Amino acid sequence: MKVENGPSILLFGGYPGSGKTTQIGLLSQTTETAVLSAGNLLRQETGKGTKLGQVFLEYSSKGIRAPDHVVCGILAPHIRLLLDRGGRGFLSDGFPKSVPQLTFLEDLCASRVAGMIYLDAPEEILIGRAVARGHCENCGPVPGTVDPCVTCGSAVSVRYDDDAETVRNRLNSYAQGNQEVVEALKLRGTFVRVDATRGVSAVSESVGAAYRQLTDRGSEPTSAGAE
């Protein structure tokens, strides 16, 4: 596996409702870096009615993480497309969520990930945010369910998996698999935890600091915005 010459891949971790999509969008704008939005791509696949999309829907509708080969099979063409476009690499929102997925990503990109920015918040805040949000077809998750989107005017709907019970199942499922990725990156020294209970601007400032830590090989990643 190439490490030095491969593309730069930075992961965003955190439970559903932690604000990953908002923060990764802001960071993408300021750094002019492409984004792999795994959640949107997976939901698009279910909408197309493909075989992999149907299998993914069977699991996600219950808040259960789909098998690794299903997720990787859906996302692989989109990752290759980002690689073909060149550039400085990409920010990954919601992928990988297991060590096999991490290995798949690094093998496919012929590069190790630069690290993970992990947005941390307690369960009660996460569930409250998730059940109160809408999903804009253009912007992704948005606060509230006002239709159309106040930012871009596109249609806003409620996600099929954003009821309290399903969100709680998703949190449990996420914890079971994603903890492996967190521990793997901690061992590499490329994991930064950010306190996501604060406002968007405060979290964004900490995310920017974490980004600079992880993309500066001379820095020692620790935590940002932690109490």
User: What does the DSSP assignment read for 114-147?
Assistant: -EEEEEE--HHHHHHHHHHEEEETTTEEEEB--S
Determine the average pLDDT of the residues in 74-84: 94
> What is the extent of the structural domain holding 40?
8-123+163-224
What tens digit of pLDDT does each residue of 164-201 get? Answer: 677 777 777 666 667 889 999 999 999 999 999 999 99
Report the C-alpha gap between 210 and 207 in whole angstroms: 5
Query: Is 36 part of any domain?
Result: yes
pLDDT: is 89 or 86 the higher one? Answer: 89
- Is residue 108 in some structural domain? yes
Q: Which residue has the higher pLDDT, 4 or 85?
A: 85
Prediction pTM value? 0.76
179-182 long-range Cβ contacts below 8 angstroms, 24+ apart: 180/98, 180/99, 181/11, 181/13, 181/96, 181/97, 181/98, 181/99, 181/101, 181/102, 181/116, 182/13, 182/116, 182/118
Question: Is 147 part of any domain?
Answer: no
Residue 135 lies in a domain: no
Q: What is the pLDDT of residue 54?
A: 96
CATH number at residue 43: 3.40.50.300
Q: Does residue 144 lie in a domain region?
A: no
Counting the structural domains of the chain, the total is 1
Contact 124, 20 (CB under 8 A): no
Phi, psi of 37 (to 5 degrees): -95, 90
The band of 2, judged by pLDDT with boundaries at 50, 70 and 90, is very low
Give the model's pLDDT for residue 148: 78
